[in-house]
Amino acid sequence: MIKAPDENLNSLKKKIQEAKEKIEEPVVEAPKPLGKIMKVVVEIVAAMAVGLGIGILIDNYFDTRPFFIIVFFLLGSAAGIMNVFRVAKSLQNH
């Protein structure tokens, strides 16, 4: 027997509501201290490594060793420190 469209719609709404009630909300855990420390360390080391890599490439290209290595290492270090402050601020807010 075929149901009326309103009955089908009401039945569907009821099934959707039942399914929503069965779904559990995901539990969001706060980051652990070791995870926070590792994130900060990775941020600063990655920025320094990128700066050092760019400096080495430019020095090899222009044959000006160690000028650009020093310059880009310092720029990478500054960027890493800025990232650490940004990460620390976001971790403090959460």
Residue 8 maps to a domain: no
Calculate Rg over the CA atoms of the chain.
27
Q: For the segment 39-89, what is each residue's pLDDT rounded down to a tens digit?
A: 899 999 999 999 999 999 999 999 998 999 999 999 999 999 999 999 888
**3 occurs within a structural domain:** no
Q: What is the pLDDT of residue 9?
A: 86
* 15 located within any domain: no
What is the tens place of the pLDDT at every residue in 6-47?
A: 788 888 899 998 888 888 777 778 778 898 899 899 999 999
Is 7 a domain residue?
no
What is the distance between the alpha carbons of residues 55 and 80, in angstroms, rounded to a whole number?
Answer: 15
Domain-located, residue 60: yes
Residue 67 in any domain: the answer is yes
Per-residue model confidence (pLDDT) at position 70: 96
Q: Which domain holds residue 42?
A: 27-93
Q: Is 43 a member of any domain?
A: yes
CA 51 to mean position of chain CA atoms: 20
